[in-house]
């Protein structure tokens, strides 16, 4: 009697394991890692990028700002205080000095020696591993930024987002050929206004605001939909909602957990 019981138990366990993955027909969104894999490695560092590569993340979101001598870096804050052993605005530091800072010890001792990541190094790493990058622009010359990305051969593999409408409009005029401009849309009634003013390609929407009708209206305006599911608390329900709504991209602070449950994007 033992063998049939064991066989039945194996079938039950196998079925349970498979049920955790979505059906083959379910559309799986592209996972965008907010500041990299920032819950398992220090944000916006090469260690965080390497963790994304390990888990098969398809897109890394990063914040871009500029040094005193016009070198672009990946840093969320305008100052160095929170995530490095430096102090003050990064815009007041020379790149040669920024490159000596420790950007990992604040997170955990084992990450001591991680550096503030230059955008150039991130772009090259992304190109090597077939990653997309979302550029969250903070400051610096837009022409210089675009030229840098073009020189690295990554323009077609970058999305762009701007917190200020003025910068988004400038970007659209400078690079009308780029079809990956993202724009924040708070509610369904704002879609037409944002489309008219900014001509975006991707609607960025907080998951709590998304509804089937919201997604449908975005599609009617030829917009992809990026769902913001950010925060360090449990996002199981929000993640499932994003998948059920068929969004194109999900921005998350837990990219490794999302991919382990849902897998990589549908082709």
- Could you read off the pLDDT of 80-132 as tens digits, one per residue? 999 999 999 999 999 999 999 999 999 999 999 999 999 999 999 999 999 99
**CATH (domain of 257):** 3.20.20.190
Domain of 132 in residue numbering reads as 26-76+119-262
Identify whether 102 is part of a domain. no
Quote the number of domains for the chain.
Answer: 1
* Average pLDDT of the segment spanning 245-250: 98
Closest-CA residue to 236 (of 249, 254, 214): 254
**pLDDT above 50 (res 235):** yes
**pLDDT of 21:** 60
**pLDDT of 59:** 98
* Average pLDDT of the segment spanning 124-149: 97
* Average pLDDT of the segment spanning 184-207: 97
* Average pLDDT of the segment spanning 223-234: 96
- Could you read off the pLDDT of 150-168 as tens digits, one per residue? 999 999 999 999 999 999 9
Q: pTM of the predicted model, to two decimals?
A: 0.89
Apex 243 CA angle, 229 and 252, nearest 5: 25
Identify whether 256 is part of a domain. yes
- Could you read off the pLDDT of 47-73 as tens digits, one per residue? 999 999 999 999 999 999 999 999 999
182: exposed, middle or buried (Cβ count in 10 Å: 0-12, 13-18, 19+): buried
Identify whether 53 is part of a domain. yes
Closest-CA residue to 45 (of 5, 1, 75): 75
Token pair of 64 as six digits:
């871009």
**pLDDT of 26:** 83
Closest-CA residue to 158 (of 139, 185, 186, 177): 177
Per-residue CA distances from 20 to 17, 249, 262 (Å): 6, 20, 8
For residues 109 and 124, give the distance between their C-alpha atoms in angstroms, rounded to a whole number. 27
**pLDDT of 166:** 95
Per-residue CA distances from 13 to 3, 9, 115, 123, 190 (Å): 15, 6, 44, 42, 47
Identify whether 247 is part of a domain. yes
Identify whether 10 is part of a domain. no
Identify whether 113 is part of a domain. no
* Residues in contact with 47: Cβ distance below 8 Å, sequence separation at least 6, in sequence order: 41, 104, 111, 114
């Amino acid at each position: 009697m033992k063998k049939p019981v064991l066989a039945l138990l194996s079938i039950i366990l196998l079925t349970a394991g498979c049920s955790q993955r979505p059906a083959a027909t379910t559309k799986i969104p592209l996972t965008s890692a907010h500041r990299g894999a920032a819950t398992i490695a220090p944000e916006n560092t090469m260690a965080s990028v390497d963790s994304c590569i390990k888990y098969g993340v398809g897109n890394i979101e990063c914040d871009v700002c500029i040094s005193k001598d016009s070198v672009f870096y990946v840093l969320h804050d305008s100052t160095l205080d929170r995530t490095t052993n430096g102090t003050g605005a990064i815009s007041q530091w020379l790149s040669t000095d920024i490159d000596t800072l420790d950007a990992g010890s604040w997170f955990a001792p084992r990450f001591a020696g991680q550096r503030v990541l230059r955008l150039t190094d991130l772009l090259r790493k992304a190109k090597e591993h077939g990653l997309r990058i979302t550029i969250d622009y903070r400051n610096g010359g837009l022409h210089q930024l675009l030229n840098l990305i073009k020189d690295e051969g990554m323009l077609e593999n970058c999305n762009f987002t701007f917190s200020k409408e003025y910068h988004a409009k400038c970007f659209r005029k400078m690079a009308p050929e780029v079809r990956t401009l993202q724009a924040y849309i708070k509610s369904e009634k704002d879609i037409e206004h944002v489309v008219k003013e900014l001509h975006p390609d991707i609607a960025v929407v907080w998951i709590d605001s998304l509804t089937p009708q919201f997604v449908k209206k975005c599609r009617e305006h030829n917009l992809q939909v990026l769902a913001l599911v950010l925060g360090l608390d449990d996002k199981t329900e929000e993640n499932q909602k994003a998948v059920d709504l068929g969004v194109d991209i999900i921005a998350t602070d837990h990219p490794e957990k999302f991919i382990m449950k849902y897998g990589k994007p549908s082709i």
